[in-house]
Structure 1
């Protein structure tokens, strides 16, 4: 079924039919007789009847009612294939343009973890459900409680399998097949696929299933584009080439591509050769300003907080190193770490406990609600060198009104106006990071004004309601 859909979408079925027709015409030319495929043809209400001439160079058709020419009459295979392709594209455009009038739409949100989907996409999903659309939540980690939670919110849970870090083509084909079947089963009319792998395989499955509107959202280019302190490894270079090829093959099959920053758009164009005129730079997924309310910056004691996944690429080791050096000079300053330990790709729990035992950090661990921990901190720090889209944790800190120290990397640099609401430092530069922390310690009187500037930035650029309004325009809903 999947292979049939692939062949049909790539036009191989049409080419096979064209080859069969060509063979029939040659036979007619030699014998003066019509082949079995030329007996009759009914299209758009017109019945075609064969009228053969022994000396004719091809089988002629006469029409009983006005209609277009029979597809097996004059015209090359390539011409017919091009016409069919243009016709398909026109039909898809017409379907997309008419979507806003059709109610309800069957909308598939395709991501990874349920909690991430609800935390980052929940506002948009609720707004669409309130408009009367059917919202399907595609995720990979459903259990009984999360399925119940999704249903209580008015969404329909759909589980599929996806290995975000695997390069196994068989596993990826399985993902493609599952998504294709689910789109067909639920009669999806709009797919909204975010993160790299879901955007690739979710969008390709939607194209194969002839979903009229296919939104691919790239929220950062991820690990293959992340340059570590020693550059890209050979393995990551190979993975990057494969990912670029997949981007180049799949993203043009979306009806709209959404990225969060200008650097991602440029790298997709220059490194992956993906140049799509319908690319939208969203500039952040936004936060709920009512949930993340502004509060005064606490100055006693001065507290620097790291919130996020404790991955090396997020800069957690740089944060720990600077905390150790600064604590030696300023023992009253606090450093707080909020996030789950990740032994395989970041900092392990035993390692964190050693820092806690030495009095260097307070380790909170993973929490569902980060608001109290950001509110009780003075400065938010994210020394990330990961290829971010635009970090959600930083947007939350901006909304609460906290000065920010972050890097000059894509996605991070968009959250700080240097010297206004915080400081930007070069990636991998721990000396610059330490100097930024010491600058904050030397001028605590500036932190409140920086906090107000952060809140103003959040209100102007990262209000989730404004972001969702722009998204609804892109979705034509």
Structure 2
């Protein structure tokens, strides 16, 4: 208990940032909503338009994340959303830290007394769902952006992985108990939720086409036409297909020496599943890779490539990075797994390749490296598909309507 108390003391909730509920709430501001994330910047990178819609509909919204990021606070404040910090480790299992997260969430929810809690990604869903139940929050709507690494083929390949998966299923069931709706980004995730009986009433599952993409913010940009430039944007996990991308790049460069291969993303703290800084530096020193680091704005980098590549075998929902590349107008090469495959019409706006198959990936990259006009034409088709299927405003219409948050 002393260890638990010490953890709480060093990871305090920033309650001073929470806006007090007005003494007299206008009739149209009926709902107080709490949105839970495992990465504070994702609130503005991925959820800003949804948060705007909630505020515009007259609701009082508090967004919650583990990092006290000044940019995030400022961006949320500009649209009328409050921010609260909660301790939450994004990866790994630490009973003390995880109990502290549930306790802090429970305290925050008891203080705010929200009508609705909306968690997304694995840990906020599990710990936020459980904390919301104990705090007596009546409405709970979940955004399953992907079931997580433990539900991937690689994640459950070992005995330990299978045990963690079973524990995760048990926790998901507890979190989803009494849910109003569970949004899934693809049919494979919905099927797993049904198969593992994570919800008692399967009619609560609703499939939506990812988080959507802001077509105006990620405006079309003509691709370069002088040489092949391939770009991979992802958290630097092995399951994102980074090792396969590097090996395929070696083969493509043998045929097209002027081709450039870029990676943009941040390192993961887990050395078992992450790509190391030493690995990245080795590929840079080899002259094979241009490592772009991390950024708050991917648009200039998308504009500078011809082809976007994500050879992921991670358990994706629908990768936001692909949607952004499509909106900018880029040909896409990704895997045939659920989530990734929802973004590509093979031979129309890109190619689907077999996961972990370097030969398959290299063939697709060689095809586009040798035919930049084809890559440009596929990019136009990507933009059209993004407009038809993945417009963030259309996606948010679905979410707002199903969560009963539309303006009266």
Give the whole-Å Cα distance in 1 for the aligned partners of 2:327 and 2:70: 34
Answer with 1 or 2: which has the greater Rg. 1
How many aligned residue pairs are there?
A: 377
- Any residues of structure 2 matched to 1:18-33 within 5 Å, and which? none
Local SS of the residue matching 1:164: coil
Task: Please say if 1:362 is aligned against 2:290.
Answer: yes
| Counterpart among 340, 359, 366 of residue 431 in structure 1 | 359
Instruction: Say whether the 8 Å CA contact 1:394–1:415 is kept in structure 2.
Output: yes
| Counterpart among 360, 380, 389 of residue 461 in structure 1 | 389
For 1:412, the equivalent position in structure 2 comes to 340
What are structure 2's unaligned runs of at least 5 residues? 1-26
Report the more deviating stretch, 348-357 or 109-118: 348-357
Q: RMSD across aligned C-alpha pairs, in angstroms?
A: 1.9
Local SS of the residue matching 1:393: helix
Local SS of the residue matching 2:214: coil
Change (3 A) 1:464 1:144: closer
Deviation of the 1:144 alpha carbon = 5.3
After superposition, the C-alpha distances for 1:437-472 in whole angstroms (9 at most, x for unaligned) are 112123333222211110111001111111111111
Local SS of the residue matching 2:291: strand
Give the whole-Å Cα distance in 1 for the aligned partners of 2:277 and 2:90: 23
For 2:173, the equivalent position in structure 1 comes to 248
Change (3 A) 1:145 1:446: closer
| Counterpart among 257, 265, 277 of residue 190 in structure 2 | 265
Task: Please say if 1:289 is aligned against 2:215.
Answer: yes
| Counterpart among 128, 133, 138 of residue 212 in structure 1 | 138
Give the whole-Å Cα distance in 2 for the aligned partners of 1:362 and 1:174: 40
Instruction: Say whether the 8 Å CA contact 1:104–1:133 is kept in structure 2.
Output: yes
- Any residues of structure 2 matched to 1:381-392 within 5 Å, and which? 381-392=309-320
Instruction: Say whether the 8 Å CA contact 2:150–2:156 is kept in structure 1.
Output: no
Give the whole-Å Cα distance in 1 for the aligned partners of 2:268 and 2:198: 34
| Counterpart among 323, 331, 336 of residue 257 in structure 2 | 331
Local SS of the residue matching 1:365: coil
Report the more deviating stretch, 248-257 or 214-223: 248-257
Local SS of the residue matching 2:123: helix
For 1:372, the equivalent position in structure 2 comes to 300
Q: Which runs of 4+ in 1 moved over 4 A?
A: 143-146
Task: Please say if 1:238 is aligned against 2:189.
Answer: no
After superposition, the C-alpha distances for 1:117-145 in whole angstroms (9 at most, x for unaligned) are 11100111122122321110111111556
Give the whole-Å Cα distance in 2 for the aligned partners of 1:288 and 1:145: 20
For 2:111, the equivalent position in structure 1 comes to 185
Report the more deviating stretch, 189-198 or 165-174: 165-174
| Counterpart among 433, 439, 442 of residue 370 in structure 2 | 442
For 1:55, the equivalent position in structure 2 comes to none
Give the whole-Å Cα distance in 2 for the aligned partners of 1:273 and 1:210: 20
Change (3 A) 1:222 1:132: same
Task: Please say if 1:452 is aligned against 2:380.
Answer: yes
After superposition, the C-alpha distances for 1:36-93 in whole angstroms (9 at most, x for unaligned) are xxxxxxxxxxxxxxxxxxxxxxxxxxxxxxxxxxxxxxxxxxxxxxxxxxxxxxxxxx
Task: Please say if 1:300 is aligned against 2:216.
Answer: no
- Any residues of structure 2 matched to 1:107-256 within 5 Å, and which? 107-143=33-69, 146-228=72-154, 232-256=157-181
Change (3 A) 1:401 1:143: closer
Give the whole-Å Cα distance in 2 for the aligned partners of 1:353 and 1:440: 27
Give the whole-Å Cα distance in 2 for the aligned partners of 1:342 and 1:196: 16
After superposition, the C-alpha distances for 1:279-331 in whole angstroms (9 at most, x for unaligned) are 11011101110111112232211111111111101111111111122212221
Instruction: Say whether the 8 Å CA contact 1:390–1:412 is kept in structure 2.
Output: yes
Instruction: Say whether the 8 Å CA contact 2:212–2:320 is kept in structure 1.
Output: yes
Change (3 A) 1:461 1:351: same
Deviation of the 1:252 alpha carbon = 3.0
Q: TM-score, normalised by structure 1?
A: 0.75
Give the whole-Å Cα distance in 2 for the aligned partners of 1:354 and 1:115: 29
- Any residues of structure 2 matched to 1:60-99 within 5 Å, and which? none
Instruction: Say whether the 8 Å CA contact 1:203–1:253 is kept in structure 2.
Output: no
Local SS of the residue matching 1:454: helix
Give the whole-Å Cα distance in 2 for the aligned partners of 1:401 and 1:150: 29
